[in-house]
Amino acid sequence: MSTTRPIATTRSATGIPTGKLAVWWVIGSEIVIFGGLLASYVMHRLGHPEWAEYASHTNTWFGATNTFVLLTSSLFAVLAHHAAEQGDGKKAAKWLLGTCAGGLVFICVKAVEWTGEIQHGYTITANGFWHFYYTAAGLHGLHVIAGCIIMLIIANDARKGKELHRVELIGIYWHFVDIIWIFLFPLLYIAK
């Protein structure tokens, strides 16, 4: 095995390890991506009074359940970080797997919710509201899936006590995904 460590791990010219700085930059660009999408949704929603009726068909309980799931998975992610700080890689890996399970439950709830909506004719082409609904929630769902895959890789390393600093990095990303949902929930499910 090579003993060379990646520069992202060893260098911190800005006062922050380069890998962590990269995660903050990813989040900065994600703010623009999701921010642009949500800002577009808000301006269209305000310009289209008929969307209030379309929005009334979303199920608040599905949204609330998924908010609960993501908030809980965020707790698991920060507990994984806490365990990694203590140098306990095995415990960190367990919390990361718990976080990943939260992501899986989130996707399953979304699958059930979307199946019902599509069966009722509320497809992505039904009207502008449902177009935004599936685009925003779908893009967010892709971030959840990507986060879960990365988390499994990091958990596998953490279990062996390797690269524990990465537990914090994936945690930061996961909390951001949680924050996006915190805003999607009232936009798509509460404001009717």
Partner 1 sequence: MAEHQDHAGDHGQAFYVKIWAILLVLLILSVLGPIIAPHVAFGFLEAWMITLMTAFGIALVKAYLVAANFMHLNVEKKYISYLLATMLMLMLLFFAGTAPDVMEHKGQNWENVAAAAEVERALEAEGKDPHGEHAEGHDDAAH
Choose which of 5, 53, 120, 160 interacts with partner 1 (CB under 8 A).
53
Q: Which two tokens stand for residue 119?
A: 């069966």
Nearer Cβ to partner 1 (53/142): 53
Any idea which residue has 């990303």 for tokens? 173
Question: Nearest distance from residue 48's CB to partner 1, in Å?
Answer: 6
Q: Which two tokens stand for residue 149?
A: 């895959």
Cα distance between the two ends of the chain: 57
Choose which of 87, 90, 115, 160 interacts with partner 1 (CB under 8 A).
87
Contact code string over 148-167 relative to partner 1, x by CB under 8 A: ----------------xx--
Question: Which of 43, 23, 41 lies closest to 183, judged by CA?
Answer: 41
DSSP-assigned states of every residue in 53-120:
HHHTTS-HHHHHHHHHHHHHHHHHHHHHHHHHHTT-HHHHHHHHHHHHHHHHHHHHHHHHHHHHHHHT
Decide if residue 14 touches partner 1 (CB under 8 A): yes
If phi over 0 gives left and psi between -120 and 50 gives alpha, with beta otherwise, what is residue 41? Answer: alpha
Nearer Cβ to partner 1 (113/168): 168
* Amino acid, res. 53: E
**How many residues form the binding site for partner 1 (CB under 8 A)?**
59
Nearer Cβ to partner 1 (50/116): 50
Question: Nearest distance from residue 112's CB to partner 1, in Å?
Answer: 19
| Residue numbers at the binding site for partner 1 (CB under 8 A) | 12, 14-17, 24-25, 27-29, 31-32, 35-36, 39-40, 42-44, 46-50, 53, 60, 64, 67-68, 71-72, 74-75, 77-79, 81-82, 84-85, 87, 127-128, 164-165, 168, 171-172, 175-176, 178-179, 182-183, 185-186, 190-192
